[in-house]
Amino acid sequence: MKPVYTTTDLASRELLDQGASQPARLAVLGKPIKHSASPGMHQAALDHAGLDMRFIRLEVEPGEIKETLNKMQELGFVGCNITVPHKLEAIDACDQLTEDAQAIGAINTILFDNGSIIGHNTDAPGLARAIHEEFGVDLGDLRVMVLGTGGGAGRAIATQCARLGCDQIWLVNRTVEKAQSLAEELQNYYRQSDHLAGPGDALYAMTPDDPGIEEAAGHADLIINATPLGMQRMDPLPLSGSCIQPHHMVYDAIYTPPVTALLAAANAAGARGANGLSMLLHQGALAFDFWFPGQANTTVMKQGLTGQK
């Protein structure tokens, strides 16, 4: 049983399961992958459901996803999670995509189904569940500012906000062109809307240092950080602290450290804040239900994630 497996370990079932008491049937694929918290969460759910299998970390090089998935299918894997940097590459390796995966344009979950590779995305619906759990409100009822809409997580979150019909979404990104092109894509969700005059009333693209950012943030109910800023102690804030007001809910997709500088700023401003652990949990529970319908237990999975009973 290794903390991290590589594609070389997929040479045979015997090699893969050497020294382990249960066969590997699920995995999380990424690079680097050794820090992934997914195995603890999913192994707890597998054990609770009485499913005799193990969940492993598999390090895969960019460009090797298709070949790796084919090999896993041959070895009888049930499915896998896909993480950085493979969420876009994995799309091309799929035979089918679910509606969520198509809408978001990235996948984080795969099911091997009778010779077919099905790609799905649970990151965005997982975030919606997390917001409800943390703040007791529906994401679709909020005006939302998303920071980092040039990345995979930010795109997925902003797309989910548009799909749920959020009245206003501010797409904030250092490279503003990426936010602008996402705003164009998301306009389709507003074209048929009868309660807005037009897409221009709902979607705004800007940089974090735009002179209008403070006023825009003032109109938002929820601010979501989907940049990596906050993972390192010396990182600057992803948004000026002066933008945060007491009425805000602030959600940081980062969960290590548990209190980022942004969450500390939210606390200092009298706003409510929460970190990305709940998003990780709910995307995991939705993935588990995709592999084993109706069998995810979020209480058990949370214990597996935090190591607490």
Enumerate the active-site residues: 87
Using the contact rule CB under 6 A, the part of the chain among 3-11, 56-64, 279-287, 301-309 near ligand NAP is: 279-287
Nearest Cα residue to 145 out of 47, 70, 212: 212
3-state secondary structure of 233: coil
Which listed range, 36-44, 97-105, 272-280, 298-306, lies at the site for ligand NAP (CB under 6 A)? Answer: 272-280
Closest approach of ligand NAP to the CB of residue 255, in Å: 5
Q: Is 38 annotated as a binding residue?
A: yes
Contacts of ligand NAP in 71-100 (CB under 6 A): 84
C-alpha 104, offset from chain centre: 11
Cβ within 8 Å of residue 299, ≥6 positions away? none
174 labeled binding residue: yes
CA 68 to chain CA centroid, nearest Å: 22
Q: Among residues 39 and 154, whose Cβ is nearest to ligand NAP? A: 154
Chosen residue from 174, 216, 267, 289 binding ligand NAP by CB under 6 A: 174
Q: Does position 259 bind ligand NAP by CB under 6 A?
A: no
Flag whether 255 is marked binding: yes
Neighbours of 299 (CB within 10 A): 9
Which residue's Cβ lies closest to ligand NAP?
A: 151
Nearest by Cα to 171 from 22, 91, 219, 181 = 181
Strands 116-120 and 96-97: parallel
Estimate the crossing angle of helix 152-163 against helix 123-135, to 10 degrees.
70
8 A C-beta contact, residue 90 and residue 119: yes
Taking the C-alpha atoms of residue 120 and residue 287, their distance in angstroms, rounded to an integer, is: 8
Binding mask 237-256 for ligand NAP (x = CB under 6 A): ----------------xxx-
Of the residues 56, 58, 158, 279, which one makes contact with ligand NAP according to CB under 6 A: 279
Q: Which of 167, 38, 182 is nearest to 105 (CA)?
A: 182
Our finding on whether 273 is near ligand NAP (CB under 6 A) is no
Q: Is 297 annotated as a binding residue?
A: no
Query: Pattern 4-43, binding to ligand NAP, x per CB under 6 A?
Result: ----------------------------------------
Which residues 6+ apart lie within 8 Å of 282 measured at CB? 122, 125, 126, 127, 129, 130, 133, 298
C-alpha to C-alpha distance for 309 and 56, rounded to whole angstroms: 22
Quick check: 129 binds ligand NAP (CB under 6 A)? no
Residues 195 to 234: which contact ligand NAP by CB under 6 A?
226-229, 231
Site for ligand NAP, rule CB under 6 A = 84, 123, 148-154, 173-175, 178, 226-229, 231, 253-255, 276, 279-280, 283
Residues annotated within a binding site for NADP(+): 99, 173-178, 253, 276
